[in-house]
Chain A
Amino acid sequence: QKEVEQNSGPLSVPEGAIASLNCTYSDRGSQSFFWYRQYSGKSPELIMSIYSNGDKEDGRFTAQLNKASQYVSLLIRDSQPSDSATYLCAVKSGGGADGLTFGKGTHLIIQP
């Protein structure tokens, strides 16, 4: 069974600091990796996608992928109170059912 694991938190980070979110996945055939942000009661919104090993930067966000270790991370620099949300790691496998496999999410709290 394909699994995506995340620390549920809450992860508390002071405003202006770097928030580091981690995710591991079980399916070595996974090809695509995504980070979504979900505010309470809202739908997920795409933050970053990453497909190859290494780092990918977009503004304050950096996604890191290490396929050998089956590990994905998201760094948020200069954290703002508006970044407080649940961050979902999602993985697209190479086979099986189409669609994404999600982790339970990490609840991030940015302290003003």
Chain B
Amino acid sequence: EADIYQTPRYLVIGTGKKITLECSQTMGHDKMYWYQQDPGMELHLIHYSYGVNSTEKGDLSSESTVSRIRTEHFPLTLESARPSHTSQYLCASRLDRGDYTFGSGTRLTVV
């Protein structure tokens, strides 16, 4: 049973809306990540964090932003959703040098 939780599981939202995708883990992991995955395509790293108040951009440019105010919580925000943001968003965490644990993902559709 994974100890990393993502909500919502599915989200359909209109263009221009602000959305926040939630990610929480109960394992005390310092490092957390957001990946984006389009159908049939590879996962791309869009954000990561080494710990509280640490956020970095990943390899794939993204219009989303993240925050890390608490160790267990790493939300991702889109200020103004567009159809090009339609994708699956996967959150992951790990201890330093540990294995990555993935959440169940949020499948976002912007109409």
User: Which residues in A have some Cβ–Cβ distance to B below 8 Å?
Assistant: 2, 4, 34, 41-46, 49, 88, 90, 96-105
Expressed in whole angstroms, the minimum distance between the Cβ of A31 and any Cβ of chain B is: 10
Measured CA separation A101–B44 after assembly (Å): 7
Residue of A4, A43, A96, A101 with most chain B CB atoms under a 10 A cut-off: A43
Q: Which B residue sits closest to A98, measured CB to CB?
A: B48
Measured CA separation A81–B40 after assembly (Å): 21
Q: Is the CB of A43 within 8 A of B105?
A: yes
Q: A43-B105, A44-B90, A97-B56 are in contact. Are A49 and B99 (CB under 8 A)?
A: yes
28 A-B residue contacts at CB 8 Å? A34-B100, A43-B90, A43-B103, A43-B105, A44-B90, A45-B102, A46-B100, A49-B99, A88-B42, A96-B59, A97-B48, A97-B56, A97-B57, A97-B59, A98-B31, A98-B33, A98-B48, A99-B33, A99-B45, A99-B48, A99-B59, A100-B100, A101-B45, A101-B59, A102-B35, A103-B42, A104-B40, A104-B41
- Chain A residues whose C-beta falls within 8 Å of the C-beta of B56 in the assembled complex: 97-98
- Interface size class of chain B, counting residues whose CB lies under 8 Å from the partner chain: 20 to 34
- Chain A residues whose C-beta falls within 8 Å of the C-beta of B50 in the assembled complex: 98
Q: Which B residue sits closest to A1, measured CB to CB?
A: B59
Expressed in whole angstroms, the minimum distance between the Cβ of A7 and any Cβ of chain B is: 13
Q: Is the CB of A102 within 8 A of B59?
A: no
- Which residue of A4, A88, A100 contacts B45 across the interface (Cβ within 8 Å)? A100
- Chain B residues whose C-beta falls within 8 Å of the C-beta of A45 in the assembled complex: 102
